Amino acid sequence: VHARDVLDTATYHADIDSAVVDCRLVVGAGAGSGKRRKSAPYTPAELAMCLAGRRRPDGVAVVFGSEAAGLGDRELSRCHAHLVVEPSTFDRSLDVSHAVQIVCYEIYLRLHDDSGRRFHRPVDGAELDATVARMCRRIDELGAADEATEGFLFDLLSRAALSKSEAGRLAGLFDKLSGSARGRR
């Protein structure tokens, strides 16, 4: 769906040699280990980080084998690195289409991370604790705190998955409310 341009611009090659002739990095994707497999395989996320750290991430090929046989020694000998997409403990391998999607999605996330489109990143535990503590201090100053307030706010805000700016704005609102109340006393 909506990928006609990908099909229209795809190139087809008779063998791996012609497919990767202009690539600076060739990564063979597959399960298992063997003498032709590289010693330290990448995970999809690690490969994505590696590509994001390159000045020019073009010229990279990720080679997937067939579902039945995977990559043979010939294909693996042309690869500079090895990639493993771990299947569940019940399956020996993933459908190749699923493995491709996982790898492509990890690369997409990493390469688009700093390109203007921002993905939602919830605050970490320490930032959430600091936000809740700041809000609880203000609630206490207003005389509205009880024993359950901190736990309630932590549970509520952790489910809300606040971004750093949202957490700052919310805590700032409590600062203003507390300051307004002090001014009226």
Give the distance, in angstroms, between the CA of residue 35 and the centroid of all CA atoms in the same chain: 30
Evaluate if residue 107 carries a pLDDT over 60: yes
* Stretch 164-180: mean pLDDT: 89
Give the integer Cα–Cα distance in Å for 13 and 41. Answer: 26
pLDDT of residue 89: 61
* Stretch 27-32: mean pLDDT: 79
SS (H, E, C) the chain: CCCHHHHHHCCCCCCHHHHCCCCCEEEEECCCCCCCCCCCCECHHHHHHHHHCCCCCCCEEEEECECCCECCHHHHHCCCEEECCCCCCCCCCCCHHHHHHHHHHHHHHHHHCCCCCCCCCECCHHHHHHHHHHHHHHHHHCCCCCCCHHHHHHHHHHHHCCEHHHHHHHHHHHHHHHHHHHHHC
pLDDT band at 160 (very low <50, low <70, confident <90, very high): confident
| Per-chain mean pLDDT for the chain | 82
Evaluate if residue 155 carries a pLDDT over 60: yes
pTM: 0.57
Evaluate if residue 92 carries a pLDDT over 80: no
pLDDT of residue 18: 92
Q: 28 exposed, middle or buried (CB, 10 Å; 0-12, 13-18, 19+)?
A: buried
pLDDT of residue 8: 93
pLDDT of residue 126: 85
> Do the beta carbons of residue 99 and residue 140 sit within 8 Å?
no
Which tens digit of pLDDT belongs to each residue from 115-133? 555 556 777 788 889 999 9
Which tens digit of pLDDT belongs to each residue from 50-64? 887 666 667 889 999
Q: Which of 49-53, 69-73, 163-167, 169-173 is the most confident on average?
A: 169-173
pLDDT of residue 159: 79
